Amino acid sequence: MITKRSSRLFARAQRVLPGGVDSPVRAFKSVGASPLFIRRASGARIEDVDGNTFIDYVMSWGPLIHGHAPRGLVNALATAAKDGTSFGAPSPLEVELGERVRKLMPSLERVRFVSSGTEAAMSAVRVARAATGRDRILKFEGCYHGHADPFLVKAGSGALTFGTPTSPGVTRGTSADTLVASYNDLHSVQRVFDTHRDQIAAVIVEPIAGNMGLVPPADGFLRGLSDICRNAGTLLIFDEVISGFRAAAGGAQFLYGVRPDLTCLGKIIGGGLPVGAYGGRADLMELVSPAGPVYQAGTLSGNPLAMTAGLWSLNQLSPTLYKSLAALGARLAGGLADAARDAGVDLQVNALGSLLTPFFTDQPVRDFASATSANTGRYAAFFRGMLARGVYPPPAQFEAWFISGAHRVKDIDLTIRAARAAMREVG
């Protein structure tokens, strides 16, 4: 595989961008490689600047549930752009998208659009603190809620990959207000509440963890979390930036029948454009300025192009799509497991619908500790082997793979064949 142009671009990038990238995982450091620079994408495939093409399982880290550059979305964006790319004023599009989100996810009685998942999470916590009069929040080891200071305490995703769960620059005071429990362990949650019961404003959780790799909730975990919060007068925040509209049209809260007080959204509601949102109970969201005293603002919030992309993307969701994605996900998960078994490689594959993660470990993965028992060196070798065979998986062990409506059975089968060869090189 020729990568001369990507290598030259990376050298240039390192002279102008920190680490040569605009988000850490893109640097490929944890997989012992140099990043590929992508110039175009279509359907389930991406093409780099050297002309190499790959079946893509990153899919912009989740929002592209319909694949890259679907014609309908491109046409909708072209039409919207002719009317203006940013207004800094209300538009009908944000009203339409807000109504669509609320219909699919009824717990969001009021919704505020922002420009990223990080912004959504930090704003939701601010609302929770204002509503309860309490300062502390509880999060879970390995769950990632963006790069705002309160969340960079035992965080997942890039922070986990790069070994900096608590980032320099986060003050001791901020860290002290963030309490940590173990995902899928209600006893650890109860212990924290026993010590800090009247101090916790909110529990924030990925209802389906996707930033230590994919880790679904254990039976009863989310329901138990809701009960603990209700009994303590604490608000429950679901960070559905990944799971929202991915796991189901109504998100994880629909799948598991648990209604949070507040929800954070992102990814799919922008159809691949930068967007986020937070929302929930009307009485809580009425605290947000200008309806109430909790200040939050954003010049690009409700951007017409992002709203257009979100409307198009959500309007294309259907039971048929989710059924197809689940079948493809199960086929790929089974194929990866078989490839590892035949090569004598320890592998656990966690899968849910269109999301999956192969963990190079012989232990079931259900929390932070078991996720981090995975052999990252083996994943790195596997990644390089897949890339050499035309498959682009996430460049880190602790990330979810994403399947789109543009993937076909033949793509999955090509991926499984590549995995069989790559597994033999893992060692």
Q: What is the CATH number of the domain that holds 361?
A: 3.90.1150.10
Write down which residue in 315, 343, 360 finishes a domain.
315
Predicted local confidence at residue 230, as pLDDT: 97
Annotated active-site residue in 185, 239, 261, 411:
239
Q: Which regions of the chain are under pLDDT 70?
A: 154-166
Q: Cβ neighbours of residue 195 under 8 Å, at least 6 residues apart?
A: none
Predicted local confidence at residue 166, as pLDDT: 63
Q: Say yes or no: 212 and 298 in one domain.
A: yes
CA 163 to chain centre: 19
Neighbours of 193 (CB within 10 A): 20
CATH number at residue 167: 3.40.640.10
231: buried, middle or exposed (CB in 10 Å: 19+, 13-18, 0-12)? exposed
Residue 144 corresponds to which tokens in the numbers above?
A: 């990632």
Predicted local confidence at residue 161, as pLDDT: 41
Q: Say yes or no: 103 and 208 in one domain.
A: yes
Q: Say yes or no: 265 and 197 in one domain.
A: yes
Residue 302 corresponds to which tokens in the numbers above?
A: 């409700």
Q: Say yes or no: 368 and 268 in one domain.
A: no
Going by C-alpha positions, the residue among 339, 331, 343, 378 that lies closest to residue 359 is 378
Q: Say yes or no: 139 and 255 in one domain.
A: yes
Go through 151-171 and write b for each residue having 16 or more CB atoms within 10 A of its CB, e for each that does not.
bbbbbbbbbbbbeebeeeebe
Annotated active-site residue in 267, 367, 392, 411:
267
Q: Say yes or no: 272 and 329 in one domain.
A: no
Predicted local confidence at residue 154, as pLDDT: 62
Write down which residue in 294, 315, 336 finishes a domain.
315
Q: Say yes or no: 85 and 40 in one domain.
A: no
| Residue 247, helix vs strand vs coil | coil
The total domain count for the chain is 2
Determine whether 103 is an active site residue.
no
- Dihedral-angle region of residue 163 (phi above 0 means left; psi in -120 to 50 means alpha; beta otherwise): left
Annotated active-site residue in 57, 144, 183, 278:
144
Determine whether 57 is an active site residue.
no
Determine whether 239 is an active site residue.
yes
Q: Say yes or no: 328 and 412 in one domain.
A: yes
Q: Say yes or no: 64 and 81 in one domain.
A: no
Q: Say yes or no: 308 and 159 in one domain.
A: yes
User: What single letter denotes the amino acid at residue 42?
Assistant: S
Whether 174 and 240 have beta carbons less than 8 Å apart is answered as no
| Residue in this structure with the two tokens 């679901």, named with its chain if needed | 238
d(CA 349, CA 335): 10
Predicted local confidence at residue 165, as pLDDT: 46
Write down which residue in 315, 337, 359 finishes a domain.
315
Q: Say yes or no: 89 and 206 in one domain.
A: yes
φ, ψ dihedrals at 370, nearest 5°: -70, -30
Total-model pTM: 0.94
191: containing domain: 71-315
d(CA 110, CA 292): 13
Q: Which helix (H) or strand (E) holds 279?
A: strand 276-280
Predicted local confidence at residue 160, as pLDDT: 44
d(CA 50, CA 6): 7
CA angle 43, 408, 375 (to 5 degrees): 90
Q: Say yes or no: 61 and 91 in one domain.
A: no
